[in-house]
Amino acid sequence: MSLKKYLFLMVFATVLCWTAWAFVLFFINPETAGTTGMIFFYGSLFLGLFGLFSILGFVIRHVIGKRIVAYQQAKTAFRQGAMFALLLTGSLFLQGQRLLVWWNTLLFIFLLSVIEYFFLTSEEKKNNFSRDGE
């Protein structure tokens, strides 16, 4: 898939997700919808944020870091967009359940940082291994 197609599909899917979230927000009553309504609300919000942060992350990386291959930029932006969307949506969910406190947020950030560190070190090992094999 070309980069243009990827970006077009990401923008299109993101717009659809934000449209779905707006539909849920304005047309579904959370008191009568129950668990299904909440799943649609948090799911569409997560996917909308995921697409938004992935696109913004890619655009920022592409403008600032021109030395990196676009595929690697998209992969990193996709992963980090998912993590940031998970952080925001998870925090909103915890707040909705009245469970959000500062130490939960720090623990959540720490967990996502450890996961990101794992991905960064595995990519670095992979890059070092491919350079050594040349």
Does a structural domain hold residue 123?
no
Does a structural domain hold residue 130?
no
Q: How many domains does the chain have?
A: 1
Does a structural domain hold residue 78?
yes
**What local confidence, expressed as pLDDT, does residue 132 receive?**
56
Does a structural domain hold residue 11?
yes
Does a structural domain hold residue 59?
yes
Does a structural domain hold residue 116?
no
Contacts of range 38-45, beta carbons closer than 8 Å, 24 or more positions apart: 38/96, 42/89, 42/92, 42/93, 44/17, 44/18, 44/20, 45/21, 45/89, 45/92
Does a structural domain hold residue 104?
no
Range of the domain at 32: 3-99
Buried b (16+ CB within 10 A) or exposed e, 23-57: ebeeeeeeeeeeeeeeebbbebbbbbbbbbbbbeb
Does a structural domain hold residue 85?
yes
Give the residue ranges of the chain where pLDDT is below 50.
none
**What local confidence, expressed as pLDDT, does residue 85 receive?**
97
**What local confidence, expressed as pLDDT, does residue 67 receive?**
64
List helix spans (H) across the chain: 3-27, 30-64, 70-96, 102-132
**pLDDT, tens digit, 9 for 90 and up, residues 32-42:** 888 999 999 99
**What local confidence, expressed as pLDDT, does residue 112 receive?**
95
**What local confidence, expressed as pLDDT, does residue 12 receive?**
97
**What local confidence, expressed as pLDDT, does residue 130 receive?**
61
**What local confidence, expressed as pLDDT, does residue 133 receive?**
53
List the one residue out of 48, 37, 38 whose CA is nearest residue 13. Answer: 48
